[in-house]
Structure 1
Amino acid sequence: MKTQETATLVAGDAELTVQSGNGCRIGSLRIGGTEVLRQGDHFGSFPMAPWCGRTENGQFRNGGQVHRLPVNSPPHAIHGTVRDKPWRRARGGGDTQAVFTYDLVEPWPYSGRITQIFELDESSLTVRMGLETYGDSFPAQLGWHPWFLRNLGREDVTIDFDPAWQEERGADHLPTGKRIDPLPGPWDDCFGMPDGVAVTLTWPEQLELKVSGPEQWVVIYDEQPEAVCVEPQTGPPNGLNTEPRLVTPIEPLEATMRWDWRPL
């Protein structure tokens, strides 16, 4: 196990642990004493920045300049550079709010700062993330990769959502650029939700949890027996190349993810 700095937020019977020393991921969310996230150094719920999912062959362009990233999921670069790095906690907050920052360093070729804000109450969690540049403009993405437990001790979770389209996935696990009608699972796929992400997880007779936010893309991954992933993000996989969002000195990139829950 890694040595981790952590912060714990408590509201009612909800308890959230943020592992600031391990990528500023949510290490635990317990609701009424029941853990809802898969445990382990690589799980919980981690931020994806400054890109989400796979970047093709570990390279992207900014204008005429080609940048290369570490190929950590051959042949691609996956999930950004911040998910296992130590973040710094900002002052203030309290029992139900915490703020953390991370300054981008190599192998990301541009300087900037990422901020995450966690706000917990008795029946919801809101996480906000922002990315600002210290200099040059650059393309980027923001998102989150939660690992929700498939089973909380009784029946398996169900996933309910109504996307406008599914990104056709090629043999290389990247979107082909073609939008298709949503297919039945299991999934390791990206979906378009132009009115905002809205996905409901239901553990029968136990808990309902809704994942929502203004972002227009969500990846659903449910191919492992232990957990399911609902990943809101600001663009599709390989978006640095296909759907670039520029971070500029006057326009940061921002994203929000909200979880609302109720016992059943």
Structure 2
Amino acid sequence: MSNEHITLTAGDAEVDVLPGNGGRVGGLRVGGTELLRQGERFGCFPMVPWCGRIRDGRFLDGAEVRQMPLNAPPNAIHGTARDGAWKVARVTGDEAVITYDLVEPWPYAGRVTHVVALTPDSLTLTMSVETHGASFPAQIGWHPWFNRSLGDGGEDVRLDFAPAWQEERGDDHLPTGNRIEPKPGPWDDCFGMPGGVDVTLTWPERLELKVSSREEWVVVYDEQDAAVCVEPQTGPPNGLNTMPRLVTPLEPLEATTLWSWRRL
């Protein structure tokens, strides 16, 4: 595994990119304050070629059933790319481009490109999946772990968003297919935002950070004490079965999320 550690800087913002650890963003510091939970499984990892859980790890490709490893039994979760080592394509002071070639257990050839671009008050993450071979269903998403507290005895983060609906969650943690009125947290739930993802995290008197995306799906997970997750993605959990997006030689799948912040 590559131990390469890329640090981008812009103004008083710094971001760490860890190609060898699943292509994840390992840290984001604003004025020296770390916003992301630290640890090799945390930071913010790319979810690709699927997001969240696939029921029983199985999805249909035409008439063929494809089986993924059950890494969250009885389901498969969060794609395969977070377990791989990515390659560095290009690095400048404030931007890194890394790539990952899809390999077994994913049954199709394809390449993922992840662009991490920093400004003094924003971070833009752009991911694309392309193929020169067979077409296949895929999803793109990001799984950031934002620190619930920034330390210094300040108040915990507050989440503010106005989804159009919540995906009803079954006992198996997967959407049932019913859309319901959004319920109060705590959440491990998928929400629909047809106008685009727009979630504000506020650490009172410290920092406000907006997570936005043109995509219309976001999973919010705040059942852990240390961190809250706001996960923009191109489809709901189990979406390879319920709402597949096709990657073809003519049409890659691409998505972007923008995190922008301001001091309070």
Which TM-score band (shorter chain)? over 0.9
CA-CA distance at 1:4 after TM superposition: 2.5
User: After the TM superposition, which residues 22-101 of structure 1 pair with which residues of structure 2 at under 5 Å, given as runs?
Assistant: 22-91=21-90, 93-101=91-99
CA deviation digits over 1:169-222, x for unaligned, max 9?
A: 000000000000000000000000011000000000000000001011000000
CA deviation digits over 1:103-133, x for unaligned, max 9?
A: 0000000000000001100000001000001
2:86 aligned partner, one-letter code: W
Q: Provide the residue aligned with 1:114 in structure 2.
A: 112
- Among candidates 131, 142, 145, match of residue 144 of structure 1: 142
User: After the TM superposition, which residues 208-247 of structure 1 pair with which residues of structure 2 at under 5 Å, given as runs?
Assistant: 208-247=208-247
CA-CA distance at 1:142 after TM superposition: 0.3
CA distance in 1, matches of 2:5, 2:58: 33
Q: Provide the residue aligned with 2:159 in structure 1.
A: 159
Q: Give the SS at the match of 1:37.
A: coil
CA-CA distance at 1:22 after TM superposition: 0.1
Q: Provide the residue aligned with 1:15 in structure 2.
A: 14
CA distance in 2, matches of 1:66, 1:134: 22
CA distance in 2, matches of 1:65, 1:97: 40
> Is 1:168–1:180's contact at 8 Å kept on the other side of the alignment?
yes
1:9 aligned partner, one-letter code: L
CA deviation digits over 1:56-103, x for unaligned, max 9?
A: 000101101110000000000000001121100113x41011100000
Percent of aligned positions that are identical:
68
Q: Give the SS at the match of 1:259.
A: strand
Q: Give the SS at the match of 1:90.
A: strand
CA distance in 2, matches of 1:182, 1:225: 22
Q: Give the SS at the match of 1:237.
A: coil
CA-CA distance at 1:134 after TM superposition: 2.4
> Is 1:48–1:79's contact at 8 Å kept on the other side of the alignment?
yes
Q: How many residues align?
A: 262
> Is 1:113–1:134's contact at 8 Å kept on the other side of the alignment?
no
**Mind listing any 5+ residue stretches in structure 1 that lack a counterpart?**
none
**Mind listing any 5+ residue stretches in structure 2 that lack a counterpart?**
none
**Aligned alpha-carbon RMSD (Å):** 0.9
Q: Give the SS at the match of 2:50.
A: coil
Taking structure 2 as the reference length, the TM-score comes to: 0.98
CA distance in 2, matches of 1:11, 1:65: 48
